[in-house]
Amino acid sequence: MRQRGYLHLLMRLVFGIAITSFLHGGNVFAESPMKQGAASRQEVRIERRTPAYWRITFDIPPFNIFGPETIPQLNEAITQLETDPQVKVVVFDSAVPGFFLTHYDLVPPLSDTTNLAPGPTGLPPLPDMFVRLSRSPVVSIVSIRGRATGVGSELSLASDMRFASREKAILSQWEVGAASFPNLISRQSRTSREWSIPRVCRPIKISKRNGAHLLHRSNARKHSRGCSN
């Protein structure tokens, strides 16, 4: 059983490196495009349209690859959502055409991630932020016009509602291709009956409103019936 676990871990690592290498032009040891300008760039921007309505925009060109240097910026945004009594609704979107938010950046040294302190929930920083978002009283919405893979998919599941472009949205978890499990702990902590990893469900019917697709909790709950463990 332990050997099987190691095999899954190795497959995830190899698959992730292959994806990162492809997105970085075939050189997996090249410096991350995010990291090259991370010190001087604001990768997670907060726009307060009104005191009650905020937009949080990811701007990490060229592919919106989420890395360890992005974690403090997103954590600051989540903290502001938790502490501002006026905000009621937040929309997550992207400034990079064709990409909402993609997988975790495996180019920086592993220590850049492992040296980050756990969050207030006691979990590592990334799942910590997703858990806090899923528990927040603020209504969270993702606006997807492009690829939402890995971290982007998990952020989508941690949010309350997901609006996706019919023409451009692509959601996926690369762990599935490596016969492993995605990190959906935030979603399981809140709506485990609606999104359960070991379940195999028929495709979820997505409602159309004003040219966009809407997938929300009531829809997921309705169509989770009949799933087999």
Looking at the predicted structure, is the pLDDT value of residue 129 above 60?
A: yes
Looking at the predicted structure, is the pLDDT value of residue 186 above 80?
A: no
Which of 44-48, 64-68, 71-75, 192-196 is the least confident region? 192-196
The pLDDT assigned to 172 comes to: 86
Higher pLDDT residue, 168 or 173?
A: 168
Higher pLDDT residue, 181 or 69?
A: 69
The pLDDT assigned to 174 comes to: 72
Mean pLDDT along residues 157-179: 85
Mean pLDDT along residues 108-113: 93
**pLDDT digits 0-9 by tens, 12-61:** 555 555 555 554 454 444 444 444 444 568 999 999 999 999 999 999 99
Residue 207 pLDDT level (bands cut at 50, 70, 90): very low
Report how far residue 74's alpha carbon sits from residue 51's, in angstroms, rounded to the nearest whole number. 19
Looking at the predicted structure, is the pLDDT value of residue 205 above 60?
A: no
CATH architecture of 2-223: Alpha-Beta Complex (3.90)
The pLDDT assigned to 12 comes to: 54
Looking at the predicted structure, is the pLDDT value of residue 209 above 70?
A: no
Looking at the predicted structure, is the pLDDT value of residue 122 above 70?
A: yes
Share of the chain above pLDDT 90, in %: 55
Residue 134 pLDDT level (bands cut at 50, 70, 90): very high
Looking at the predicted structure, is the pLDDT value of residue 151 above 60?
A: yes
Encoded tokens for 190: 């809140």
Report how far residue 147's alpha carbon sits from residue 129's, in angstroms, rounded to the nearest whole number. 21
Residue 106 pLDDT level (bands cut at 50, 70, 90): confident
Quick check: 161 and 141 in contact, CB under 8 A?
yes
Looking at the predicted structure, is the pLDDT value of residue 94 above 50?
A: yes
The pLDDT assigned to 93 comes to: 97
The pLDDT assigned to 20 comes to: 52
